[in-house]
Amino acid sequence: MKWIFVNIMKYKMIIAVRDDLDLSCGKIAAQASHAAVGCAFEAKKSYTNWFKKWQSEGGKKVVVRVEDLDELLDLERVAKSRKLPTYLITDAGLTEIPPETVTCLGIGPAPNELVDPITGELPLLK
């Protein structure tokens, strides 16, 4: 018998990180974690059905990169206009970057068909 893996996850959270800040990997991981926690609680409160389904599938998270602040804020604007959960992270700037630097944006969890059209073309963070 041959098993074929089929990805059946229908919900995801996207975390978009600014590429122009040259953050260390540890800093990116911390900022992405801020966004993920922020989005998860926002979704649990205001998008309960999406949140529950996303969690039951394992809580898929995809980390992508955007070129700069303008692209990040554009993405936030579009996601909000489509009524998706969003959470923008502004860093206190105690370590690598100046205070009040916007570093990343969480979108979702939301159904793939709503998230993919606005984030599907963004490159994965490698």
Stretch of residues binding a second copy (CB under 8 A), selected from 34-42, 67-75, 79-87, 110-118:
34-42
Stretch of residues binding a second copy (CB under 8 A), selected from 21-29, 69-77, 79-87, 110-118:
21-29
7 vs 56, which CB is nearer to a second copy? 7
35 vs 84, which CB is nearer to a second copy? 35
- Give the Cα separation of 15 and 125 in Å (integer): 10
User: Can you say whether the dihedral through the CA atoms of 113, 119, 39, 61 is positive or negative?
Assistant: positive
81 vs 98, which CB is nearer to a second copy? 98
Site for a second copy in 70-99 (CB under 8 A): 92, 94
- Give the Cα separation of 89 and 54 in Å (integer): 22
- Give the Cα separation of 21 and 4 in Å (integer): 41
